[in-house]
Amino acid sequence: MNQLDALRQWTTVVADTGDFRQLAQFKPQDATTNPSLILKAVQKADYRPLLDEVVQKHKGAPIDEVIDRLLVRFGTEILSIIPGRVSTEVDARLSFDTQATIARAERIVALYREQGIDVHKRLLIKIASTWEGIEAARQLELKGIHCNLTLLFSFAQAVACGAAKVQLISPFVGRIYDWHKKSQGSQWDEAANAGANDPGVKSVRQIYDYYKKNGIATEVMGASFRNVGQIAALAGCDLLTISPELLAELAASDAPIAHALDAEAAQRLAIPKVSLDEAAFRFALNEDAMATEKLAEGIRAFAADAVKLEKLMET
């Protein structure tokens, strides 16, 4: 049994890509996309005709609508290959506007419905884990629109998402690792911070254990991996979204993988439930330099790639 098949024993495997032609070989249950992945895909010769087709078909429509139609075009192609759900992201430039996020999410849902997609079962709306984004997700979930809260770096963000009863969260393992490695500089000890001791892995484990202990139904999907060691250390997490490159590496290895995260074990831990209002959330996030910096950096990067995608459409 290779590592990918071993991982599937305990964890739902999700592909993190806009390159849907790579999907079939790995047989993921779900798939996630974001503006950066779609931008990367449409710059390839295989996918540029998709962009041109969408632009031509909707010439004269507002650029933000054309962008959403492109995202839905990719998402619909992905759904024709996978059995589960696709995550489609709301424009990161709306990360601090609850009502605009809701409106954009509802338009994306409507576009998928036009394609005959069962949005309740097969779509997750991806939203940045700001206070405003979490509130938008809370309201969308009440309308039956399931959400994936992304750019999640802190326990406070996870607590707020659980309280909002969002469907799923995506804590970013690799970016947490990146920050700590850069912060420690020459003092960083790679071996001492590997596997279960990786700071990104520890963050996901804390969130997973908290949710399972306190009966929080929100799914935990580890994301943003730098190496297969991080993935192996989170075997047993509800879901893990993995790049095609790392999926290939897992499929090529038969090294053993152990069951690392366990819901039953978590239920035996003494972990009190936490409640955060807006002020407490903002203060807790502010106290976490890593989470504050990586959240801001992530929003800026996704927003910049959305602008690049718009410029491609205008050429």
Strands 219-222 and 239-242: parallel
Q: Tokens representing 174?
A: 């690799």
* Cα angle: 244, vertex 137, 75; to 5 degrees: 35
Which residues lie closer than 8 Å to 227 by C-beta, 6 or more apart?
A: 246
d(CA 76, CA 87): 11
What phi and psi, each to the nearest 5 degrees, are found at residue 80? -75, -10
Q: Tokens representing 163?
A: 């309280």
What phi and psi, each to the nearest 5 degrees, are found at residue 69? -65, -35
Instruction: Say whether 126 is catalytic.
Output: yes
Element (H, E) at 114: helix 98-114
Of 126, 212, 213, 294, which is the active-site residue?
Answer: 126
Which residues lie closer than 8 Å to 105 by C-beta, 6 or more apart?
A: 90, 125, 127, 136, 140, 145, 147
d(CA 172, CA 264): 24
Q: Rg of the chain's alpha carbons, rounded to an integer?
A: 19
d(CA 167, CA 170): 11
Write the DSSP symbol of residue 90.
P
Are 69 and 53 in contact by the 8 Å Cβ rule? The answer is: no
Are 151 and 295 in contact by the 8 Å Cβ rule? The answer is: yes
d(CA 237, CA 246): 17
d(CA 72, CA 89): 10
Are 11 and 220 in contact by the 8 Å Cβ rule? The answer is: no
Active-site residues, by number, are 126
